[in-house]
Structure 1
Amino acid sequence: MTRFGCLLSALLVADFSIVSAVGAVEPMDGFLEKHCISCHGPEKEKGDLRIDKLSRDFKLGADTHHWAEMIEQVNSGEMPPKKEKKPTQEEIAAFVTQLDSLIKEGRASRMSARPAVTHYRLSRKEYQNTVYDLLGVRYDPTQPGELNEDTLWHGLERLGSELSLSPSHVDRYYRAAEVVLERAFPAVNGEARKVRKTAAELRYNGGKTQQEALDRFGIKRPLRFLLFPGNVQNALSPQWFGKTGPEHSGLYRMRLQASGIRPLGGQPAHLSIGKRTGEETVAGIIDFDITAPEDHPQVYEFDVMLEMPATLDFCVVATDVVDRRSGAAFRNALASRGGYIFTHSSETLLLNANAPQMFDDKGNGLFSTVLLDWIEWEGPLETPAEKARREGVVPADDAAPQMIANHLHRFAERAWRRPVKAEELEPYLKSYQAELEAGEKPMEAYRVALQGVLTSRNFLYLVEGEPEAREQLNDWELASRLSYFLWSSMPDAALFTAAQKGTLHGEGLKEEVDRMLADGRINRFIDDFSRQWLQLHRVGMFPPDKKLYPNYDRWLEMSMREEPVEFFREVFQKNLPITGFLDSDWTMANARLCDFYGLPEPKGGGFQRVSLKPEDHRGGLLTMGAALGLTSDGTRHRPVHRGVWLSEVIFAKTPPPPPANVPAIEPNPPKSPKATLRDKLEAHRNDANCASCHAKIDPLGLAWDNYDAIGQWRTHEKIAAGTGANPLVNPSGEMSDGRAFKDANDFKRLLIEDRDKFVRAFIEHLCTYGLRRVLTVDDEDDLNAIATEAKKNQSGVKAIVRAVALSALMKKR
């Protein structure tokens, strides 16, 4: 929704009578009577709206956001609708001026009525980052049995109104604190260990049979382990590290040397390392393309968080899996103990005509294959910086009571992100003493006190405006708001120092924000904000039908999800203009996406900046596979859903939900002429109850009709049933203000013309994310001030984020 309310056509009926104390207000009443009441009054209630029922008590503010939306609708020309008589500019100016004045007059009363104390619970991601920055401990709250999934609001996972606390949350927070403290202060310290498995060691009996075959043929090339599509092989066994247990969970470094076989005109080999989810599938925690040729293998290295004991598997992901080659029998023959081990495709002596066919007569691979030389795991790893975060947290076993209290006090101030009074810690010190008296060792007793600190509301929540009612945050609260906005975590020592000195409400704020924007932790903002803003959790929510889209696979889906994030990273880090989100002559892509889009493949591995040409039909966020696919249902594109997503993301407006019992669009009858989804929507819009909303939503989605359900370019819409040829796609339309467009490129041009609206909407998204609440009409002046500041810097994306961080709005509770 606009963060000020729903569209005019969806305004809710407010059960308030007009407040007589306001008196007759002209020209506002005259404007409403002349241009609005006939459609939104006693005789007719379009969009379920009775304007005469809206409260005019602007101090109470029950319907203020509805009135503010009315100003926007009238100013934009969307209301009154085209078929009605248009008001003059003088009438509009008088109406808007008076209504705006009434809204502003009640602002002070509305602000003073806001709750004095607001609590915002940390999201799972923020909890994970915070315990890492506090204690140097790696903990994954998304694992089964750990923290509850966060409730989303339009993709955002950090709104205080949504993140409630249930009994199950409390139980899991206690368990999480136990795990974190066990890893921070283990009973038995485990040293990092390294294990290495060669291709021979991964084979049965050390690969003796395969080596004998190579010796018999006189082949001097090394023994390799063959990983081919359709087969899952072990990548990490628990026994590789010997004794395993909770103390060994942590960061591990995986290295392997491998090369790839790529079929002519096919995809590079893609290796996924993760947990087995089926006979031939793996949920990857490490995914990468192997582009190194067989004669020049490459060493690949990754750091990954592992919950031990862990069993991981290899899986080669490719859409060119040869299912026609007798399936399981083919795989079993390759994996048999006595089967030949592949060394190089040029070793024609191994290309036995009676063996499963994997290569042509010239030694070219028939499908993507990985050749593994060795794999190495090392861990758990800890950096000196991580260890330093735990120094001084635990007192000596024979420490005096006051020393123990001092240690706990220092820890609580960091954990709670503010000064702590001695009396606040008395319950935790009493629990420590009770544990000692019960016979526990000092360390175990102190761990109970630490657990109390980590399960306190002061740790789990950001508490703003306590205890006294005030409009402004204090320096400590502002430090946390900034750090959770830009770093998704607690303040660091420098930010704590600035808060202690009281400089964050002065020139010190600019210095700290600039430092934070340059810090590596800003990548957390890039990852988290872009993912939530664009609602990327919906990518893959409805898996595409394999029969309709056979080239769609898990690796493509993962690549699609990463593309907008990497694109955002590039735009942010280089402070490029925000209009690049709407259109660009480049994108960030890996080999899999380049193959899907038909682009030249990047030279290096991973995501690279790739140039685009007009004939590529790409550019900006809106033509990315993720944006086009997340609004589809797995079988067909959905223009209405695309329009709703674009309205939310680009304009920060959520159209109203459809009325109850709206019939679904039926498939094309077998004996009827093939009709596009657009044609069917036209018939749907003939319903008067649907027309007003669809007139605003549908053009935003129909502009992308040249892209199918997974974002592939097309000129004709494939219709399964019906007579005649598949119809041509028609991506033309008309914006709500009457401007026409002929296709997606034309539509993007109109969006760029409206860049100020997009900038304003982007700022609203940032502020909602940073403030952790839905914005109201009372935030409008602050938003306008941020937009004005951002415009001074040509609306570079990093400059906009900086303007939000430095804004007066960020300092308000």
Structure 2
Amino acid sequence: MIRLCFLIIACLFGIASASAAEPFEAFLKKYCVRCHSSQREEGDIRIDRLSRDFKAGVDTHNWAEVLDKVNSGEMPPEDEPQPTQNEITAFVTNLNSLLKEGRAARLAARPTVAHYRLSRKEYQNTIYDLLGVRYDPAKPGELNEDTLWHGIERIGSQLSLSPSHVDRYYRAADIVLERAFPGTSGEARKIHKTAAELRYGGAKIQQEALDRLGIKRPLRYLHFPGQLQPALLPHWFGKTGPELSGLYKLRLQASGTRPPGGQPAHFSIGKKTGEETVDGLIEFDITAPEDSPQVYEFEVFLEMPATLYFCVVATDVVDRRSGAAFRNALSKRGSYIFTHSSETLLLNPNAPQMFDDKGNGIFSTVLLDWIEWEGPLVADTEKSRRKGVLPPDDATPEIVAEHLQRFAERAWRRPVKKEELEEYLQSYHAERKAGEKTADAYRIALQGVLTSRNFIYLVEGDPKTRERLTDWEFASRLSYFLWSSMPDNALYAAAKSGTLHGEGLEKQVDRILTDSRINRFIDDFSRQWLQLHRVGMFPPDKKLYPSYDDWLETSMHAEPVEYFREMLANNLPIEGFLDSDWTMANARLCDFYGLTEPEQDGFQRVSLEPKDNRGGLLTMGAVLGLTSDGTRHRPVHRGVWVSETIFNKTPPPPPANVDPIEPIPPKGTKITIRQRIEAHAKNANCASCHRNIDPFGLAFDRYDAIGQWRTRERVPTGVGEDPLVDASGVMPDGRPFTDTVQFKRLVLEDRDKVARAFIEHLCTYALRRVLTVDDQDDLNVIQEEAKKHEYRIKDIVRAVALSDLMRKR
């Protein structure tokens, strides 16, 4: 605070200016170059080589780091000669002035046009909002995968467009237009299959057996782990083809059995990927008890003809019982008849036991009563988006041009001049002269609009050099920030009328935040900010972590997203990201964390107690797992994640040729990874970085590679007892902590820094570019506004959306 006060005073009284190069260089020579030059290179920065051309801005980010380190007292380090407060004030003021002058010069020389390609997810959403068409660009063979920058998939400089990618966009446009305006209509059909039809081929013989035994219960389809069963076969719908591709509704009535205190049965429905696995298009827990079956309902997009299977995820108990003999005894049609677990007379005496004498499952099973498929379905809202796109069959050239202009303005998200469409109209007329029908010829023009750079890119700029966006450009930036898609009619109207300012802008932002499409922002931003693409990147070793399965991984991936949804919906303070007495969990996560199972299916808000050792993002299984390698936890990687995600500080890469951490030899004494890291960090080239990274990771050493709580670290090699875990440490600024709880408290003391980092992540996502020192003043304004509202999450997002920074190119 004292240093900051000196800085403010210096600025007010003009103690120094950018022209005072001599004192500036003298300070560097006296206090900085000694540790950051050819003789000694600390922190991967050579100050003697940093460019002094601040207008070019080549090393602006490095100079900004120097400014931050000196102003905070981190540089020079304590064991080096220390400058006086006056020297610090003069240096910081000089450097700050140089940076500002450089920023002004660069703003004046900015390029006239900027292009930001839509990510695959944004393309998918835009196609849906434009034409009501469901298209998955992430399917194999569709659009190329987006290049990530620290988890963010929408940074403009990263999203290039290769020739092969262009071909894929043309193919995608063909698919989209075929689904929007199919040559033949595929009417919705409904198929209902009972358990008797699915399992017993009509069940005439089985029903006779039930009648002889006097059993009145209906036949049910018993699904057990270790066997795939058909959930949808193409012939159920008769003759199927691509014209029947679309949205389908699945309804089924089911219940489950499980061991006392065991996990609920997990049902997975999808395409076959292995002898006992499917890809999981639909996944859910069956928590309904056997005597009270529940109707489950889902919607899923299917490429027809489709073949889908049911799969019950196996448990550890089943793994020991499964095998060919187990499956064969139960899978043959005549091998058993099932109505209820208490009807033991129906079970094949030669089959393995599945229920105890009280009817409890020895392992989890699913009891299916019936399933129903209906589709393809087209909602009225989807139909309305296509209304008026195609011109009438007898349309004149003028009417065709008007239709295309209206469509292009929606697709390109701005006013469109007629001459911009001349090339597409020429293609239309050429097709008509060749004998094509109006609709078919017009699709060629629509394809041109959908493959234009004006659709694939967000185009910001015009021939004049300008600093700010137009209202049309701003409307798109706003909608792609919070909806991951194009503006709607209301936002278009506001841009057209010039009311995206002041009170009019506030009304639009508040409307956007309450629209259901805000869930796209929740899903996309949380996934990218937290780098959740890394969950499951290194599958855990099944021998070391037998409780880890696909459903647990899926549940882990969803937990931080659902947590963010709850934080935003209730406008909770940012402290909740760091610690809380609740989380969002489903039955599988509750079993994994040792929590009371929620009463309802899906994710629910679950209370936590101190003994649960959870709370906030940092102790979630996804976060702890994505920073592991599948066999062991990695404290350094966890520390880097905390540094990047919570503080928005990316540590420098490790020096070249640094020896890796070696495993313990067979006859060596078992020691923790922490102890091996501490030995490694004694290397002079490593120590300076490790002291800023390691504490952030070592604080979570009580959690193993998949996020399970432990007191001892499992060491696979060496001799002796597995060592006790030590989660203590010292923060980079010298504050000590003894465990995860104290670490969280210390981070909470840095609330302003955490909030600033979150704001920076939001702005990077919204602006689609890496932030620079040029943005600092605008970021300060956003932070001041957010702080007035106690750093509540929705208020922070709102402050970013309303900020002046959002209008700048």
TM-score interval, smaller chain = over 0.9
Once residues 748 and 88 of structure 1 are traced to their aligned partners in structure 2, the CA distance between those partners, rounded to angstroms, is 34
Q: Cα deviation per residue 1:650-671 (whole Å; 9 max; x = unaligned)?
A: 0111111222333322211111
SS at match of 2:705: coil
Alignment of 1:220-299 (within 5 A): 220-299=216-295
Shift of 1:24: 5.3
2:544 to 512, 536, 548: 548
Q: Residue 135 of structure 1 is aligned with which of 131, 142, 158? A: 131
Q: Structure 2: which amino acid aligns with 1:210?
A: Q
Instruction: Quote how far apart the aligned CAs of 1:242 are.
Output: 1.8
The one-letter amino acid of 2:797's match is V
Q: Name the SS for the 2:301 alignment partner.
A: strand
Aligned to 2:721: 725
What SS class does the counterpart of residue 322 from structure 1 fall into? helix
1:746 positional shift? 0.8
Q: How does 1:54-453 map to 2 (within 5 A)?
A: 54-325=50-321, 327-453=323-449
The SS at the match of 1:153 is: coil
For 1:396 and 1:729, the matched residues in 2 are separated by 74
1:494 aligned onto 2:490: yes
Residue matched to 2:562? 566
Q: How far did 1:352 drift?
A: 5.0
Q: Which among 37, 43, 50 is matched to residue 46 of structure 2? A: 50
| Comparing 198-207 and 43-52, the one that deviates more | 43-52
**Aligned-residue offset at 1:81:** 2.1
Q: Is 2:640–2:693's contact at 8 Å kept on the other side of the alignment? A: yes
Q: Are 1:267 and 1:318, in contact at CA under 8 Å, matched by a contact in 2?
A: no
Picking from 645, 661, 673, the partner of 1:649 is 645
User: Quick one: distance in 2 between partners of 1:430 and 1:624?
Assistant: 57
Contact 2:259–2:362 at 8 Å: present in 1 too?
Answer: yes
3-state SS of the aligned residue for 1:507? helix
Local SS of the residue matching 1:430: helix
**Separation in 2, partners of 1:354, 1:329:** 10
Q: CA deviation at 1:60?
A: 1.8
**What is the CA distance between 1:163 and its match in structure 2?**
0.6
* Mapped pair 1:691 → 2:687: yes
Query: Quick check: 242-251 or 272-281, which moved more?
Result: 242-251
Q: TM-score, normalised by structure 1?
A: 0.96
Q: Which amino acid aligns with 2:275?
A: E
Comparing 210-219 with 727-736, which one deviates more in the overlay? 210-219
Within 2, Cα distance between the matches of 1:216 and 1:82? 91
**Range with greater deviation from structure 2 (694-703 or 210-219):** 210-219
Provide the rounded CA distance (Å) in 2 between the counterparts of 1:632 and 1:429: 56
Task: State the superposition RMSD in angstroms.
Answer: 1.4
The SS at the match of 1:40 is: coil
Which has the higher mean CA deviation after the structures are superposed, 322-331 or 163-172? 322-331
Question: CA distance change for structure 1 residues 326 and 158 in 2, over 3 Å: closer, same or farther?
Answer: closer
The answer (yes or no) to whether the contact 2:200–2:206 under 8 Å persists in 1 is: no
Query: Is the contact made by 1:78 and 1:736 (CA closer than 8 Å) also made in structure 2?
Result: no
| CA distance in 2: counterparts of 1:89 and 1:750, whole angstroms | 27
Does the Cα contact within 8 Å between 1:77 and 1:737 map onto a contact in 2? Answer: no
Q: Distance in 1 between the 2:39 and 2:654 partners?
A: 23
Identity percentage over the alignment? 75
Checking the alignment, whether the CA contact within 8 Å between 1:22 and 1:57 is kept in structure 2 is: no
Distance 1:520 1:712 in 2: 35
Instruction: Give the conservation status (yes or no) of the 8 Å contact 1:320–1:368.
Output: no
Q: Is the 8 A contact 1:210 1:340 kept in 2?
A: no
What is the CA–CA distance in structure 2 between the aligned matches of 1:96 and 1:318, rounded to whole Å? 62
Q: Deviation digits for residues 41-91 of structure 1, max 9, x if unmatched?
A: 243223343212212222221112211111112233322223223334333
Cα distance 1:359–1:73, how it changes in 2: closer, same or farther (>3 A)? same
- SS of the residue corresponding to residue 146 of structure 2 reads coil
The Cα offsets for residues 738-771 of structure 1, whole Å up to 9 and x where unpaired, read as: 1111111111111110010111110110010000
**Is 1:623 aligned to residue 619 of structure 2?**
yes
Q: Name the CA shift for 1:23/1:475 in 2 (closer, same or farther; >3 Å).
A: closer
2:770 aligned partner, one-letter code: V
Corresponding residue for residue 701 of structure 1: 697
Q: What is the rounded CA distance, in whole Å, between the counterparts of 1:708 and 1:150 in structure 2?
A: 31
> 1:638-658, CA deviations, whole angstroms, 9 ceiling, x for partnerless residues?
001101111110011111122
Alignment partner, residue 667 of structure 2: 671
Question: 2:337·2:347 contact (CA, 8 Å) conserved in 1?
Answer: no
SS in 2 for 1:520: coil
For 1:635, the equivalent position in structure 2 comes to 631
* 2:524 is the alignment partner of 1:533: no
In structure 1, how many angstroms separate the alpha carbons of the residues matched to 2:321 and 2:44? 61
User: Greater CA deviation, 786-795 or 661-670?
Assistant: 661-670
Q: 652, 656, 662: which is aligned to 1:660?
A: 656
How much has 1:23 moved relative to structure 2? 6.0
Q: Distance between the aligned counterparts of 1:645 and 1:84, measured in 2?
A: 30
Do the aligned residues in 1 keep the contact of 2:258 with 2:264 (CA within 8 Å)? yes
SS in 2 for 1:511: helix
Deviations 1:480-533 (A, max 9, x none): 000000000000000000000011134311111110001000000000000000
Could you tell me how far apart the structure 1 residues matched to 2:641 and 2:188 are?
A: 47
Q: CA deviation at 1:327?
A: 0.9
In 1, Cα distance between the equivalents of 2:317 and 2:692? Answer: 44
* Structure 1 residue 204 displacement after superposition: 4.4
3-state SS of 1:283 partner: coil
Q: Is the 8 A contact 1:669 1:722 kept in 2?
A: yes
Post-superposition offset of 1:30: 3.2
Which residue of structure 1 lines up, in the alignment, with residue 10 of structure 2? none
| Aligned residue in 1 for 2:8 | none
Q: Which of 431, 454, 457 is the equivalent residue of 1:458?
A: 454
- Say if 1:526 and 1:569, in contact at 8 Å, map to a contact too: yes
C-alpha contact (below 8 Å) 1:675/1:727 kept by paired residues: yes
Q: Which moved more, 1:217-226 or 1:413-422?
A: 217-226
Q: Deviations over 1:613-650 (max 9, x none)?
A: 01100000000000000000000000011011111100
Q: Distance in 2 between matches of 1:760 and 1:545?
A: 38
Q: CA deviation at 1:94?
A: 2.5
Distance 2:505 2:785 in 1: 16
Q: What letter matches 1:169 in structure 2?
A: H
Range moving further from structure 2, 525-534 or 75-84? 75-84
Native 8 Å contact 1:274 1:286 kept in 2: yes
Q: Secondary structure at the match of 2:280?
A: strand
User: Aligned partners of 2:108, 2:503: CA distance in 1, in Å?
Assistant: 28
- Structure 1 unaligned regions, length at least 5: 1-20
Which amino acid letter does the alignment assign opposite residue 194 of structure 2? T
Q: Does 1:716 align with 2:721?
A: no
> How much does 1:323 deviate?
2.9
The range that moved more, 258-267 or 26-35, is 26-35
2:733 is aligned with what amino acid?
A: D
| Contact 2:269–2:283 under 8 Å retained in 1 | yes
Choose which of 791, 806, 809 in structure 1 pairs with 2:805. Answer: 809
* SS class of match (1:258): strand
1:483 matched to 2:479? The reply is: yes
Separation in structure 2 between the aligned mates of residue 36 and residue 647 of structure 1, nearest angstrom: 24
Q: Which amino acid aligns with 2:677?
A: L
